[in-house]
Each structure stands twice: as structure tokens, then as C-alpha cells.
Structure 1
Amino acid sequence: MPFGVALARAVEKMPAPGALEGGCRFEPKWDGYRALVDVGEDEASVWSRRGTDLSATFPEITTAAHAQLPPRTVLDGELVIWLDGRLTFEALQERMGRGPRTAASAARARPASLAAFDVLALEGRDIRSRPFDERRALLVELAASWRPPLNLSPVTADADEAAEWFETYAVVGVEGLVVKGGAQPYRADRIWLKVKHRSTIDVVCAAVTGSRSQPQEIVAGLPIEGDLRVVGRTTPLTPAARRHLAPLLRPPEGEHPWPARISPGTFERFNPRTSPIDLALVEPFVVEVSADVAWNGKSFRHGLRFLRARPDAEVDAVRPPTAT
């Protein structure tokens, strides 16, 4: 992997235009896989943010990058797949599960695109120390002759336009906005900001991690196809939330719909674990959480935020959100 990637920390609302060095620049937050594209003399490679070589999985990207980019150039961007005018993360997951022998047919059936938003090296020159606005100008010039699947991610310095993007792009599956400083260099740290669409929903607390007296996270359930299914979990609970919840966590009164130990694959994308997860099962009750748009109809890919308990609400009245 050529470089470490810059990351963003979450904020609750759009920052003021001057909140970051050199003024704020706003970009869509794509719902895909972060990727660095490294173009060598003879071939191009694609790397995940954690350093996994994805070149064999996305041959359409490596082929296009080698054909359209100068050698010794490194781009930062997001791998996405469009289906019926919307982003589909599930199709990307399916592509990730394919072996090299089926990658070519998978690329033809569900081709990926690269939404490029930064250039880190250009023809052998490491330009990460340059301000974002300078790197962006070089990226725009580089992208002038691109053809799909290479695409230039849009950016604006206009806060009103960014606010409009935040509202209107949600219908196609864009998660929110990433905010960067016009004078910021590129470095592998949480130097950017991100603001995501969130909604308040009811879920069923039917288990916790930790213990009933010292809960660490709420394990959330929703009725799916007639059964109460594990659909995600909250981010770690605050000390105040733990104290508030502990008196409500009662042992199950009858047969519980979940086992006391589940595989790590039950939780899709956040806080991956390699060993089974022990649950402290509880009598189900309703809690209110804040969730982002990463709901696929069966589970939440990102952590939920606990807001409050609703022990007076009817568990049978809880319904899944509409898939986005």
C-alpha cells in the first residue's frame, strides 16, 4: 500500500465555512469502499484503507487506471456500485466475496466505479504536503480526459450548495458530507470532518454485551420476516447510560429468541471481532436510538447511538425502518 489514508471524525451538524484551515470544502460522502489506486509502470493496483490488495477483485478499475492515468500516480477515492440510479453497498459486498477466477464476470455483471476525490502522488512526485486546493486543481486537470469507471467526485466551497447536496443526494444513497480544509495538507489522521444523515428510531433491546449489571453495548433487534432478529448494536454506552439501563435489564421471563453466544459475522461492518460474542440476554423492551442511512433492510452496518429507554412502549409495535 503506497500511503496511509486520511480519515474524518464525525460531527453533528455542518461546520461554519471557516471552521477548517483555508476554509471548508464540502464533498459527498459516498456509500462504498475507500480505496487508493496506485498506478505503476506496468500495471495499476487498488488498496483498501486497511492495506488489503483489491486489485484482483476490481479488474475494471485497475484496467481503466492503467490506461487513463500517468505512471507513478496515486489517487484516493471511493469504490461504488450504482444500481437503478442508487448506490448499492450490498453489491460491493458481493464483489468482495468473489475469488479472482470469477472477478471478471462479476465486473461485467455489477461494474464498480471510482469516485476520486484526491491525488497524493503525480508522476512520481509526492504531493501530500501541498494544500488541498492545490491538489484538487491538479486532480481536476488530471480528470479532464477521464472516462468511466473513473469519475471526479464533486466539491464545493459554497455552504448553501453543500446544504442542498446534503438533502438532495440522500435519495440516491449518499450518506452525507465530508468537509476538508482548503489549506490542509494530506496526512494519515482524522483531519477531516463528516456529517451524516441520521434518524431517530425505536429498536428492541433483547441483549447487551458485558453483563446486566454493567452493560457495555445494547444489542438491537427488529422484527424481520416474523422473527426478532439481531440487526446491530450501539456504540459503547456512556457511564450515565449504563446506570440508567441497568435497572431495566431483567432476565428473560421465558424462552429467548436469541442464543447466548453468536458469531462475529452477525455484526456486519463495525468493530469487527474474530471470536464468538457472548450476550447477556434480557427480557425485551424498547429503546430509542439514532441511526444513519446504512440500513439494508436486514441490519445496520454502523453503530447505533443510544438515546433513551422506552419501557412503556409496546415491543410488538416496533417496525423496521424503510430500506434506503
Structure 2
Amino acid sequence: MEPPVPLALAEAVPRLPQGRQGTWWYEPKFDGHRMLMVRTADSVRLFARSGRMVTTPWMDLALAGRALPPGTMLDGEAVIWQDGRIDFGAVQARAASSVDRSRVLAARLPASYAVWDVLTHPDHGDVRARRYTERRRLLLDLLSEIGPPIQAVPATDDYETALVWYEALRAQGIEGIVCKRAASTYRAGRIWQKVRHADTSEADVVGYTGASAQPRTLAVRLADGRTVLTQRLPAALAQDAAAYLTAVAPGPPATTTAGDTYTTTTAELVVEVLEGTTRHQVVTATRVR
């Protein structure tokens, strides 16, 4: 199995799902950049959710990944801790950095890789068709002798514990809780559920300005039905969005609710936007979802 790999995603829901113990598993939602780590026979390669290779700015994680046995592919989140809290601004700065700059940033604030799934296992091959609980056991066994900065995310099947995590871990920069059915396989699409603190929301991308390979802004449809342009995209976010936009032919021009012209797209792309900005004409997008 070679990247890019279609990733499992999570659908936002208002509350934690609850059932008989063991039906649902809950994991803290880390605030970083989604990343696949692929350990081959002679190297480690890192990929963003879009399929773009991002090994260079995260070389400290790539070097740590050499401790993994060849044939391993992991799914997780690259995060950076500062003063006991996840610092998403530091993650964005690293993702957009040059080779030399990334070395300076890594020396100052090393990255961590919070892993929640294993897609290929050195002894079992492609394990995506196995149950979540089976993949979880394989993941914990695989990482048992690896240690930081590569670590499995905590997980529990206890609803009350998940509620405590949701409230208590927010101070550490944890976004919320991701909920996964114990029997679920790993497959593309929004197969998980997530309950998040309401600092951000998600918006469908319906178009862009500039070139598809280098979009300046995105046209997004908000929950209230308005179509608006985002602020100018940071370099890393523009690259992630471009991977989706260039995969389909550009559509005809259209206009936002405010009358701004943009190029439409049929790309299946969702971005996270800051809640506090959605009441205004220009919206701040923070990452691809």
C-alpha cells in the first residue's frame, strides 16, 4: 500500500455517543497537523492528509520514526508542546518552514507524534479491515518499546472517563474527544464522531481565488448559508488545499454573498474556520479537515 491513502475522518456531533461499555471507544482530540508516517526498508516518509509529502519540516519526527520496523504505516497527529500546552501556532510555523528554519524550530520546540491507528503492520500487512480494538492492540504492542516522541494517544471505553477528559484536558490544548466504534474497520470517509469545544467550526469549500495549484483564498459555505471568501491562506494551508483543488477541473465562475468572484470547484474539501470570524465578511481558515 503506497500513499496517498484515503483517510478515515470524523463527523462533528453535539454530544458523546453512549452505549453498552465496549461499544464505543473515546480518544482525546489533539490540536496539530494530521500525518501519516510510513517506515520503508530504508527511510521514513511523512504525508499530510492531502497526500502531500511533508517530511522536510518534520525531520525530527522522521528521524524518530526510524525506530519503527520497516513495513509500518501509522496515522496520527504532529503536535508541539509548549509550557504544558499544545501550541497550534508553533505547528503552523513548522509546517510552513524551510529546511534551515525547520531545524532551528525543531531545536527550540521539538515535535511529538500522537498516534491513533496502524494501517500496515510489519508482521500482518494491511490491517485496515480489522476491528478498531484489534488494531489498537497491534498499535500498542508495536509502540511498546519505541517511546517519545512517538506515542499512542490515550483511549478508553468508559463514557464517564471520556466526559472528564473532555472538560479537564481543554487546558492542555486538547480540542475535544474523538469517538470510534469498537467493531469499526479503517476506511475512507467520516466514519468516526467528534465532539469539540466551540472555538472553531467546519465549512465546505465551494471555490477559490487565484490558481488551483496556488489558491490565494477559499470560497466557503457557512452554516448560515452564506458563501464567503477566507482571508489569504498561509503557505502550508494553500499547499494542502491545492492537492484537492488540482485533482478536479475548475468550474465556472460564481460570486459570494457579498459579490466577490471566485472559481467554483467540485473538490470534496472541508476546512476549519475560527468561530469568531464567521460573523464578518472575511473568514479565517486554519486547516484542512
TM-score, reference length from structure 1: 0.64
**Number of residue pairs the alignment of both structures matches:** 237
Indicate if the aligned counterparts of 2:56 and 2:99 stay in contact, CA closer than 8 A: yes
1:196 corresponds in structure 2 to: 196
2:267 corresponds in structure 1 to: none
The one-character-per-residue Cα deviations of 1:21-66 (angstroms, maximum 9, x if unpaired) are x711000010000111000011101111111111111111111111
Q: Secondary structure at the match of 1:80?
A: strand
Structure 2 counterparts to residues 227-246 of structure 1, below 5 A: 236-238=222-224
Structure 2 counterparts to residues 1-324 of structure 1, below 5 A: 1-18=3-20, 23-66=23-66, 68-123=67-122, 125-198=125-198, 236-238=222-224, 264-265=232-233, 280=258, 302-304=273-275
Q: Please report the RMSD computed on the Cα atoms of aligned residues, expressed in angstroms.
A: 3.6
- In structure 1, runs of 5+ residues without a counterpart are 201-215, 217-232, 243-260, 282-299, 309-324
Please tell me the residue identity of whatever aligns with 2:222: P
**Alpha carbons of 1:127 and 1:262: their partners in 2 closer, same or farther (altered >3 Å)?**
closer
Identity of aligned residues (%): 35
Please report how far the alpha carbon of residue 188 of structure 1 lies from its aligned counterpart in structure 2 after TM superposition: 1.1
The one-character-per-residue Cα deviations of 1:3-36 (angstroms, maximum 9, x if unpaired) are 22100000011111259xx711000010000111
Please report how far the alpha carbon of residue 269 of structure 1 lies from its aligned counterpart in structure 2 after TM superposition: 6.1
Please report how far the alpha carbon of residue 278 of structure 1 lies from its aligned counterpart in structure 2 after TM superposition: 6.7
**Alpha carbons of 1:69 and 1:168: their partners in 2 closer, same or farther (altered >3 Å)?**
same
Q: Secondary structure at the match of 1:133?
A: helix
Q: 2:13 & 2:258 partners in 1: Cα distance?
A: 31
**Alpha carbons of 1:103 and 1:16: their partners in 2 closer, same or farther (altered >3 Å)?**
same
- The structure having more radius of gyration, on CA atoms, is 1
Please tell me the residue identity of whatever aligns with 2:153: S
The one-character-per-residue Cα deviations of 1:253-300 (angstroms, maximum 9, x if unpaired) are xxxxxxxx985338x96996999x97739xxxxxxxxxxxxxxxxxx9
Q: 2:77 & 2:199 partners in 1: Cα distance?
A: 24
Please tell me the residue identity of whatever aligns with 2:45: S
Please tell me the residue identity of whatever aligns with 1:264: R
Q: 1:101 & 1:172 partners in 2: Cα distance?
A: 29
Indicate if the aligned counterparts of 1:44 and 1:62 stay in contact, CA closer than 8 A: yes
1:313 corresponds in structure 2 to: none
Indicate if the aligned counterparts of 2:50 and 2:241 stay in contact, CA closer than 8 A: no
Q: Secondary structure at the match of 1:139?
A: helix
Indicate if the aligned counterparts of 2:39 and 2:70 stay in contact, CA closer than 8 A: yes
Please report how far the alpha carbon of residue 2 of structure 1 lies from its aligned counterpart in structure 2 after TM superposition: 4.8
**Alpha carbons of 1:199 and 1:97: their partners in 2 closer, same or farther (altered >3 Å)?**
closer
**Alpha carbons of 1:138 and 1:262: their partners in 2 closer, same or farther (altered >3 Å)?**
closer
1:258 corresponds in structure 2 to: none
Indicate if the aligned counterparts of 1:269 and 1:302 stay in contact, CA closer than 8 A: no
Dislocated runs of 4+, deviation >4 Å: 268-275, 305-308
Please tell me the residue identity of whatever aligns with 1:109: R
Q: 1:272 & 1:52 partners in 2: Cα distance?
A: 10
Indicate if the aligned counterparts of 2:25 and 2:156 stay in contact, CA closer than 8 A: yes
TM-score, reference length from structure 2: 0.72
Q: 1:32 & 1:58 partners in 2: Cα distance?
A: 12
Q: 1:306 & 1:91 partners in 2: Cα distance?
A: 21
Please tell me the residue identity of whatever aligns with 1:177: I
